[in-house]
Structure 1
Amino acid sequence: MAVTVLSISATAPLTAAASASPLAMAFWRNCLGFAVLGPFLLILRRREVVRVARGERGILRREQWRPLVFGFLAATSLALHFAAFMTSTRLTSVAMSTALVATQPVWQALIAAGQGVSTSRRTWTGLALSVVGAAAAGGLDIKSGGTALLGDLLAVVGAIAQAGYTALSERSRADVSTPLYSTVTSLVCGLELLAVCWLAHIPLTGFDRTTQLSLLGLLILPQILGLGSLNFALGRTSATTMSVLLLLETPVAALTAWWLLGQHIKAATMPGLLLIIIGVTVVVTSGSGEQAAAQQGRHRKEIPPYPAYAPYTPQLPPAPERLPFWHGAKRDPRLDWASYTRDDSPTVRLTYHGAGAFDTVSLRRPHVEEEEPGFDGPAEALADHNWRR
């Protein structure tokens, strides 16, 4: 977890230290990340890639066009996030930019409230603290105006775009796994940034040594080391704990910018930055408290239907009286889907702007105890056949 926080905290200082255009930096960051991690993820999911290419999973059926549109919009939101956030690091201080971008859970909660999801008082309290902290921290920039205020606004736009990316990804990831979806989204994001740089006549080559070292640092630290350590930590701690710890990015990035760039944190902005961190912490932890309360008081009323976008399952043939070689069969994924209740969500959201699109939605597989079926009669043989299918 310490390696994760330190690696991700290097994002803003490395971007601010470079001399190239922020849009060019955003493009090369996605391009290098996709070139290194994309093929690796595609190799891990090569069977799924082949099935999608052949159309066996029906990804281009009529009901799948809508998720594809949401996926394209999610990639566009991700490109906007990178462009706005990386530009804000040049116009305002690293501490302000990182703190304002870290308010993504606040905007995520507002989007959920706009979609009709009930929001607790604790969440609204965290929202109020974050807004007051942002206003207090940006007070000096509001008075002075100029590029600092524009940088603060771009950082807020980056946070909103990241929240939109998460919300759109939840609606688009219908029939594609996380690695494949992340790889394709990163590719689309990079192509969109390339088009913007081409239309704006932004040079993508001829960088000085400082910019080249910054790009190399962005690839090694947040993209590779940050992603790997985050996935390792998520296997041993909760997503809520990791989300709260990622808020340490603000003070760590501020210290790094002071050491590398000589940026000093103004004493008048420190109370506001602290309020932002406290407010976002309240918002992040309120979601886990609501989920725990729902799990304690929930009652299993009915099993949700198998989703319509799932792969087509052919009718089972008549079962023989005895079915050998059942130990090596795979479990029916519908049994895992049926284990969820209406109060339980099949996804865990963890987003951060360090590794971009490569770790946005992680599927949570429930623990389901398996019992070995017997072969006492034709009915049990048929049940065993269904279990194996």
Structure 2
Amino acid sequence: MNAFLALVAVLGVSASGPLMAGAAAPALAIGMWRNALGALAITPFAARRAPAELAGLDRAGRRDVVLAGMMLAVHFGAWISALKLTSVAAATAMVSMQLVFVVLLDRLRGTPIPRTVLVGAGLALAGVFVITGVDFTLSTESLTGDLLALGGGAAAAIYLDAGSRVRRQVSTSSYTVACYAICAVVMAVAALVAGIELVGFAATTWIAIIAVTVSAQLLGHSILNHLLSVMTPGTISLLLLLEVPGAALLAGIFLGQTPPLGVYVGLALIIAGLGVVVLRRPPVEAPTS
């Protein structure tokens, strides 16, 4: 059953990049609405348990919920902005570097890093340099998009790390509705401060926002939040590697994006390197709640 849920989640998140790249709305608006609608959809399922479970969190648990929601907002703000500047293939490959940041978090805690993991991280980093080098020859806009996506990957690593701790104490629905709600509020405030419109879009844009909410938010991230109870953040990141070729394929079909050959070379290096990182990384105890 978990394998089937993982497949559904990967297919859901793979549609995320192409849908958001094609939506004619600001990045903060897209991110805010997909999280607000996601929280609204999950609220009926969380209403009975969430108040008591969230109130029962200790101080560290409450801090981690807020941290996860804020980092999810940073992730979406950076990544969706990147999708507007560079190709879906490049942006998705860059944001998948979250796994390298997960390893870095482990190292900061004092966890020894095997040499093979460092080799894999170096291989993935080489892929980053290949893609950014190719995009730099195209335009500074594409390079900016690459760097934004990389920052979004760093934020996603912190989001997954904090979420894995919270999920040891509360149910999927309670954690998810709280995290999405916090993310939506943070993005809404950021949009208002920046003077970015949150409404007034064309019908096709609203359809794209609803579609990405259903496919990526409800069938993607929500399932991944559930799987955090039986899988480690590293395993989730390995599953998300499948999003890279999936998103590139969908972008080619529906958006007509055909990045230079060098981007695909870098993409292959990143997937290979991150695969090594996951396979050789020391096992981490999975949440059990």
TM-score (norm 2): 0.87
Matched, 1:131 2:119: no
Identify if the C-alpha distance between structure 1 residues 166 and 5 changes in structure 2 by more than 3 Å, giving closer, same or farther. Answer: closer
Structure 2 Cα separation of the partners of residues 130 and 143 of structure 1: 20
1:43-101 per-residue CA deviation (whole Å, 9 max, x = no partner) reads 3x25xx24755xxx4x4xxxx43443343233211110010011100000000000011
Correspondence for 2:253: 259
Alpha-carbon distance between aligned partners in 2 of 1:271 and 1:10, rounded to the nearest angstrom: 22
Higher radius of gyration, 1 or 2: 1
Say which SS state the counterpart of residue 91 (structure 1) adopts: coil
The question of 1:212 aligning with 2:206 is answered yes
Equivalent residue in structure 2 for 1:141, among 125, 135, 139: 135
Residue 5 of structure 2 is aligned to residue 11 of structure 1 = no
Paired with 1:209 and 1:251, the residues of 2 have a C-alpha distance of 29
Please name the residue that 1:322 is paired with.
none
- 8 Å CA contact 2:98–2:237 kept in 1: the answer is no
Say which of 23, 28, 35 aligns to 2:28.
23
After superposition, residues 182-221 of structure 1 pair within 5 angstroms as 182-221=176-215
Please tell me whether the aligned partners of residues 240 and 285 of structure 1 are also in contact (alpha carbons under 8 angstroms): no
Is the 2:32–2:184 Cα contact (8 Å) retained in structure 1? Answer: yes
CA distance in 1, matches of 2:234, 2:162: 21
1:172–1:237 CA distance, 2 compared to 1 (3 A): closer
Shift of 1:112: 1.1
What does 1:226-245 align with in structure 2 at a 5 Å threshold?
A: 226=220, 243-245=237-239
Q: Which amino acid aligns with 2:190?
A: V
* Closer/same/farther in 2, CA of residues 159 and 229 from structure 1, 3 Å limit: closer
**4+ residue stretches of structure 1 with deviation over 6 A?**
231-242
Q: Which one of 270, 273, 277 corresponds to residue 276 of structure 1?
A: 270
Shift of 1:174: 7.2
Structure 1 residues 79 and 229, CA gap change in structure 2 (3 angstroms): closer
Distance, in Å, in 1 between the alignment partners of 2:115 and 2:269 is 17
Tell me which moved more, 194-203 or 148-157. Answer: 194-203
1:1-389 correspondence to structure 2 within 5 Å: 1=4, 2-43=7-48, 45=49, 49-50=51-52, 53=55, 57=56, 59=57, 64-170=58-164, 175-226=169-220, 243-287=237-281, 290-291=282-283, 345=285, 348=286, 363-364=287-288
CA contact (8 A) 2:96 2:237 kept: no
Residues 173-228 of structure 1: CA deviation (Å, up to 9, x unaligned) = 67544432232122111111110111111111111122111112112211223357
Question: Aligned Cα RMSD in Å?
Answer: 2.8
| Aligned AA (1:142) | F
Which piece of structure 1 moves more, 114-123 or 20-29? 114-123
CA distance in 2, matches of 1:275, 1:205: 40
* Structure with more helix by fraction: 2
Question: For 1:198 and 1:84, how far apart are their aligned partners in 2?
Answer: 17
> Deviation per CA, 1:258-307, whole angstroms, max 9, x where unpaired?
111111021122211100001111111223xx33xxxxxxxxxxxxxxxx
Please list every run of 5 or more consecutive structure 2 residues that lacks an aligned counterpart in the other structure: none
- Matches of 1:67 and 1:234, distance apart in 2: 15
Percent pairwise identity:
35
Distance 1:239 1:168 in 2: 10
Contact 1:71 1:173 in 2 (8 A): no
Q: Determine which structure has greater relative contact order: mean sequence separation of CA pairs < 8 Å that are 6+ residues apart, divided by chain length.
A: 2
Q: Give the distance between the partners of 1:236 and 1:50, measured in 2 at CA.
A: 23
Tell me how far apart the structure 1 counterparts of residues 131 and 120 of structure 2 sit (CA, whole Å).
16
Q: Kindly tell me the number of residue pairs found equivalent between the two proteins.
A: 284
Note the residue ranges of structure 1 that are not aligned, 5 or more in a row: 292-343, 349-362, 366-389
User: Shift in Å at residue 38 of structure 1?
Assistant: 2.8
